[in-house]
Every structure is written in C-alpha cells, then in structure tokens.
C-alpha cells in the first residue's frame, strides 16, 4: 500500500499556498543524506534528480514538525497552515 | 440488505466507520462489522475504503433510477390539491454578451423529452435587455413559448432582481418543472428562487426523467464526490427545480423554421430596491483554462520530466483540440500553472477523453478524473495504479509513444478532412 493511499484516509483542507518553504536551496545541494526525504512520515519531501531540488508536496503534511528538526542546516521555514487549512483529524 | 465485508481485504483503518452517516459500522477486533439494521446501502463507505473491502454488489438494482422508481411507486404523486395546478416545463435561458449559453439549449433539448412525457408545453424564460433575438433562438432550440422580460434593472445579472422577477412569473404561470444550467450564475440564482418559492431544488443533476404515474421528476446527481448516484424527488412542492450540469445533455438540433410564441412580461423590480451594484466586469484573459469544460484533456505528471518536455503533450493537445492538464507533482515542479491541476485539490474533470501521460494514478489524482468517458494511460510502469481505471493502457516510454500517437492522429484527422469532414478543419 502506498503512502498516498493512506494519506487519502485523512481529511485535508489544502491551502493554495505552501506553508513550507525551503529558504536556501543552495544548502540542499551540499546536504549529504537529505534526511527530510525519509524522516517525514507523509513523504512530503522528494529529491528531484533532474532539477536538483527538493519538492515539497505540502498538501499531505501531517503538521508533526519533524522536518524542522531533521534538516541539518535548518533551512526549512515551516509554519502552521492558516486557520481552517491543513490536516483535519477526525477521531484523531 | 447491507454492505458486504470482504474480511480478507479489511485492514481495519476505520475510514468507513468515520464516513458512515448512519453509524452502521464498527471495528471489532480490527475488522469492520456492519449493523444491517442501520445500513441504508448509501455506499459512502464503499467509496472511501482504500482496499475495496466493502461492496454493494448484492444491492437489488445497481441502477439508482430504477430503484428510485420502485420507491416512488409506493408514494402518491400530488396530482390533486395545489400542486396539481402546476403544469409545464420551464428552462431558464442564460446569456452573456448577446449569446445564449450552450447549456440552456441543452436543457431545452432535455426539457423537450420531459414535456413530451408529461404531455405539456416547454417554455423558456429569459431576462435582460435587448435579448429578444436570444429569446427567438430558444424557439429554434425547441421551446413552444419564451417569456421575455426586458428592463434596465435586468441588463446585467444580479441575484436579487433576477430571482424576484422569476419567482413572480413562476407564481403567475405555475410550471411544474423549472430547470437551470449548473453554471456559476445558475447555481447562484437557483438557490435564491427556490427559497423564495419554498420549493425543492436539486443541484448539479446529470440525469432527468419522469415517473409517469406520479408525474414526478426523477433528479439524479452524483453525490460524495461522484462515488454515488442519488435520485431525488420533490413530492409535494412545485415547481420541481433542478440545476443541470453543462455538457451532460445532448445539444438539440437548431431549427430556424420552428415557430413559437414570445410573450413579453414586465419586471416590477426597480433599481432603488436592488442592493447589489455592478461596478465593473472583468474579463479573464484568453489563456484561462477551463479544464472542467474541456472535451479532451492531455494530462502529464512527474514522468514528463521537465517543463520543456510538455511540448510533446502540447503538440498532441493541439492536434486533437484538447487542453493540457497536470498532476499535482507536475504543478509542484512548476511545469504548469496550478489552474491545470486535476484531482482532489485541483479541478474535477469529466472529459470525453483523458490522456494520463507519465501519471502514476495516485488516489488523489484518480478522484478528479476517473469518471472521464475514455481514459488513455501511457506509463512505463505496468504496475502503475492508473491502469486500473484506464480504458486503454500503453506500457512504454512516453517520449516514443506520444510523438507516434500525435502523428497518427494528425494523419487520421487530415484524412477525414480530405474526405470532406470540413468541420474538423478548424482544429488543425
Ligand atoms: C492532501 C493531498 C491532496 C492531493 N491532491 C492532488 C491533486 O489534486 N492532484 C494530483 O494529481 N495529486 C494530488 N496529490 C498528490 C498525489 O498523491 C500524488 O503525489 C501525485 O498525483 C503524483 O503525481 P504523478 O503521478 O505525476 O507522479 P508520480 O507518482 O511520481 O508518477 C510518475 C509516473 O510516471 C511514470 N513515468 C516516468 N517516466 C516515464 C516515461 N518516460 N514514460 C512513461 N511513463 C513514465 C512512472 O512510471 C510513474 O508512474 C495530493 C496529495 C495529498 C496528500
Ligand atoms: S534536509 Fe534540509 S538541507 Fe537537506 S535536503 Fe532536506 S531541506 Fe534540503
Ligand atoms: S511537519 Fe511532519 S508531516 Fe509535515 S512536512 Fe514536516 S515532517 Fe512531514
């Protein structure tokens, strides 16, 4: 079962704008292990080989905050989604 | 009868338990159980189960319209009393910049069938200023009569004067059915009119038919994001109002010889009574995409690889006269603007043909396009979930397949034109 299938069980009110911003993409090029790509439980982060940059599929974010701590240079600017947006846990 | 659980498939995620509006499901030892007393076979759970552990296969009839008719047979139609005074089918004719909206002609086509079934007349109603020509078009598309209300107050669409005027005419002429297109305007207007008249309204119908004995209009519409079809009737109140999705009803033949009556009516609404003022009309630029209105969509995903590579898809789209679509991944990568995104958080589309090129078919994408009439999937991974919903699947590299397809379509269409199919010429 793919992680997307599990995320589909969640309720989201996805905002039009990302609440996650990579502040300095130059740092990602230097980052060896790219921990965001495997620490995030929702697989929000993915490394794009051809474009050499991190993609953030922010809609699936569970708002756990892990990425903020896993990023070695600390360049993930993570904020709570706006009020009313983001994940909406039902029977959470 | 109740939903059936395929115990082997159930992973105990509980999605169905949360979704069931009737509290009919519970998790027992990590597997779902159904309370047949409570289950109404609405199917909401079937739609959310990620592992297809729930089915409604044993349901008496898969066709909700047939089931609807079965149930309606048990109720008495309101042929006597006040509701019985209402006769005739009305279609609201929407217009913009001097032209009738195509959905209005589609509705006249659909309305014709209903009016014939009920043996009543089919009427159009049009509001505006300088719109008599469009009223005449209504006759050409099948109306027996068109009620025409012209007034400076109605020159531009505003909810209040339109709704008030329509409601008073409905009270005067008492049609039993009143249809509007489920456009932005129609959705705004219909709710207001229905409330003024205290009658029932079904939004966004995709199927309409008549149950002859009770004269009731069976209004069928997708619910729960298109996973369930609901057939709704309005038993006791008149008119029975419905908005109908554009492009689901066939366009009737326009007959410029057709004769019909145009009846001038007056609106009693004066400018002082209207609170809404139109300050400015802003036209969206020509590049705006109307994915939900496209007949052919050529959509690309992460597999397309880069913005430049979308040129392959653009070419195919150009040859077919289609519109470009994209998965979230392609939008996220910045290859196409978000207006092109198809899926849960993008646009829900239902074109005649949907090309899914380099799209894996994540459930969030599928929910936005799986009701397309024909789905053509091109993907190098034979296990990709998109093949589960595809009408035609091609396993292979899109960079070899798409140009070949484009070429083949080009020749085919060129051939048609040579044979005299001139109407396609504009698209090449
Ligand atoms: C809350 C939430 C909302 C979401 N909303 C949406 C939404 O509205 N719309 C949406 O689309 N997604 C949405 N998603 C994202 C969704 O889950 C998927 O991540 C996304 O749809 C994947 O896009 P994709 O299929 O293009 O990419 P991938 O899953 O990466 O698939 C790429 C595919 O291309 C194929 N491929 C690669 N190269 C080639 C080649 N040369 N030739 C042929 N095939 C090739 C691969 O085999 C693969 O199957 C949402 C996710 C969440 C959590
Ligand atoms: S962990 Fe931080 S630096 Fe490393 S790839 Fe992810 S976002 Fe970039
Ligand atoms: S907050 Fe949690 S779920 Fe959201 S992106 Fe960061 S790690 Fe992933």
Domain boundaries, chain A: 3-88
Interval A34-82: pLDDT, tens: 999 999 999 999 998 888 889 899 999 999 999 999 999 999 999 999 9
3-state secondary structure of B44: helix
Question: Which comes out higher in pLDDT, residue A7 or B69?
Answer: A7
User: Is A8 in the B-facing interface, judged by CB distances under 8 Å?
Assistant: yes
Question: Which comes out higher in pLDDT, residue B136 or B424?
Answer: B136
* Domains of chain B as residue ranges with CATH: 4-55 (3.30.70.20), 89-266 (3.40.50.620), 296-419 (3.40.50.1220)
User: Is A92 in the B-facing interface, judged by CB distances under 8 Å?
Assistant: no
Residue B262 has a pLDDT of: 96
Q: Which of B50, B333, B344 sits opposite A9 (nearest CB)?
A: B50
Full-model pTM: 0.60
**Is the pLDDT at B423 greater than 50, yes or no?**
no
Answer whether B51's CB lies under 8 Å from B9's CB: yes
Residue owning tokens 């409604």: B56
Average pLDDT over every residue of B344-353: 88
Distance B379 CA to ligand 1 centre (A): 11
Question: Which comes out higher in pLDDT, residue B418 or A45?
Answer: A45
Distance A57 CA to ligand 2 centre (A): 14
> What is the C-alpha to C-alpha distance for residues A30 and A73, in angstroms, rounded to an integer?
10
ipTM value greater than 0.85: no
- Give me the total of CB pairs closer than 8 Å, taking one residue from chain A and one from chain B: 44
Interval B199-240: pLDDT, tens: 999 998 989 999 888 889 999 988 776 667 788 999 889 999
Interval B69-110: pLDDT, tens: 666 666 655 555 566 788 999 999 999 888 999 999 999 999
Question: Which atom of ligand 3 lies at the shortest distance from residue A20's CA?
Answer: 5
Residue B48 has a pLDDT of: 82
Chain A, 21 to 80: residues with Cβ < 8 Å from chain B are 48, 50-51, 55-57, 59
Q: Work out the minimum CA distance from B319 to partner chain A, whole angstroms.
A: 29
Interval B7-64: pLDDT, tens: 888 888 888 888 888 889 999 888 999 998 888 888 888 888 888 888 887 554 456 6
pLDDT tier, B382 (very low <50, low <70, confident <90, very high otherwise): very high
A3-88: CATH architecture = 2-Layer Sandwich (3.30)
Question: Which comes out higher in pLDDT, residue A14 or B300?
Answer: B300
Interval B237-262: pLDDT, tens: 999 999 998 878 888 999 999 999 99
Distance B386 CA to ligand 3 centre (A): 27
Lowest mean pLDDT among A75-84, B131-140, B161-170, B281-290: B281-290
Lowest mean pLDDT among B99-108, B311-320, B363-372, B419-428: B419-428
> What is the C-alpha to C-alpha distance for residues B244 and B221, in angstroms, rounded to an integer?
9
Question: Which atom of ligand 3 lies at the shortest distance from residue A39's CA?
Answer: 7
Q: Which of B18, B332, B385 sits opposite A57 (nearest CB)?
A: B332
Answer whether B244's CB lies under 8 Å from B222's CB: no
User: Is A9 in the B-facing interface, judged by CB distances under 8 Å?
Assistant: yes
> What is the C-alpha to C-alpha distance for residues B30 and B14, in angstroms, rounded to an integer?
9
Comparing alpha-carbon positions, the chain B residue that sits nearest to A49 is: B305
pLDDT tier, B136 (very low <50, low <70, confident <90, very high otherwise): very high
| R_g of chain A, CA atoms, integer Å | 13
Angle at B351 between CA B348 and CA B357, to 5 degrees: 85
In angstroms, what CA-CA distances link B287 with B205, B252, B297, B311, B323? Answer: 29, 29, 15, 17, 11
Q: Work out the minimum CA distance from A14 to partner chain B, whole angstroms.
A: 7
Residue owning tokens 């992680």: A3
Phi-psi region of A74 (alpha: psi -120 to 50; beta: other; left: phi over 0): left
> What is the C-alpha to C-alpha distance for residues B176 and B179, in angstroms, rounded to an integer?
10
Residue owning tokens 């069931």: B20
pLDDT tier, B428 (very low <50, low <70, confident <90, very high otherwise): very low
Q: Which of B13, B332, B338 sits opposite A55 (nearest CB)?
A: B332
Average pLDDT over every residue of B142-163: 95
Average pLDDT of chain B to the nearest whole number: 87
Instruction: Name chain B contacts of A15, Cβ cutoff 8 Å.
Output: none
Q: Work out the minimum CA distance from A42 to partner chain B, whole angstroms.
A: 14
């Amino acid at each position: 079962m793919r992680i997307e299938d599990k995320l589909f069980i969640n309720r989201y009110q996805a905002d039009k704008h990302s609440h996650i911003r990579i502040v300095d993409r130059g740092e990602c090029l230097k980052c060896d292990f790219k921990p965001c790509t495997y620490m995030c439980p929702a697989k929000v982060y993915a490394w794009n080989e051809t474009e050499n940059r991190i993609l953030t599929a922010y809609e699936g974010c569970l708002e756990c905050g892990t990425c903020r701590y896993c990023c070695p240079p600390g360049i993930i600017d993570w904020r709570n989604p706006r009020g009313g947006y983001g994940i909406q846990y039902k029977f959470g | 009868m109740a939903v059936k659980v395929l115990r082997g498939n159930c992973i105990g995620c509980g999605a169905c338990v949360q979704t069931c509006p009737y509290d009919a499901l519970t998790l027992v030892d990590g597997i779902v159980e159904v309370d047949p007393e409570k289950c109404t076979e609405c199917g909401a759970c079937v739609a959310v189960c990620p592992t297809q552990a729930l089915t409604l296969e044993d349901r008496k009839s898969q066709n909700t319209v047939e089931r609807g008719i079965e149930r309606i047979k048990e109720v008495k139609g309101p042929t006597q009393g006040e509701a019985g005074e209402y006769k005739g089918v009305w279609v609201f004719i929407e217009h913009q910049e001097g032209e009738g909206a195509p959905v209005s002609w589609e509705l006249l086509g659909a309305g014709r069938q209903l009016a014939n079934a009920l043996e009543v007349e089919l009427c159009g109603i049009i509001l505006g200023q300088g719109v008599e020509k469009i009223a005449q078009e209504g006759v050409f598309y099948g109306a027996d009569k068109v009620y025409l209300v012209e007034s400076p107050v109605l020159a531009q669409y505003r909810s209040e004067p339109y709704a008030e005027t329509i409601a008073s005419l409905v009270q005067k002429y008492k049609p039993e059915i009143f249809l509007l297109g489920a456009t932005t305007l129609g959705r705004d207007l219909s709710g207001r009119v229905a409330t003024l008249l205290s009658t029932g309204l079904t939004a966004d119908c995709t199927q309409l038919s008549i149950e002859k004995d009770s004269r009731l209009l069976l209004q069928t519409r997708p619910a729960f994001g298109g996973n369930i079809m609901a057939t709704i009737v309005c038993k006791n109140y008149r008119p029975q109002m419905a908005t109908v999705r554009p492009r689901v009803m066939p366009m009737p033949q326009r007959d410029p010889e057709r004769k019909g009556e145009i009846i001038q009516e007056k609106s009693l609404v004066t400018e002082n009574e209207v609170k809404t003022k139109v300050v400015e009309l802003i036209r969206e630029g020509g590049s705006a995409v109307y994915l939900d209105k496209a007949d052919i969509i050529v959509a690309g995903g992460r597999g397309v690889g880069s913005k430049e590579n979308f040129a392959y898809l653009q070419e195919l789209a150009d040859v077919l006269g289609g519109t470009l679509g994209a998965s979230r991944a392609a939008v996220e990568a910045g290859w196409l603007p978000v207006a092109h995104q198809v899926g849960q958080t993008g646009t829900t589309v239902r074109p005649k043909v949907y090309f899914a090129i380099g799209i894996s078919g994540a459930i969030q994408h599928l929910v936005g396009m799986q009701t397309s009439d024909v789905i053509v999937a091109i993907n190098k991974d034979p296990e990709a979930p998109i093949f589960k919903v595809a009408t035609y699947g091609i396993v292979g590299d899109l960079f070899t397949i798409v140009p070949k397809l484009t070429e083949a379509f080009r020749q085919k269409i060129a051939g048609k034109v040579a044979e005299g199919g001139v109407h396609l010429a504009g698209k090449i």
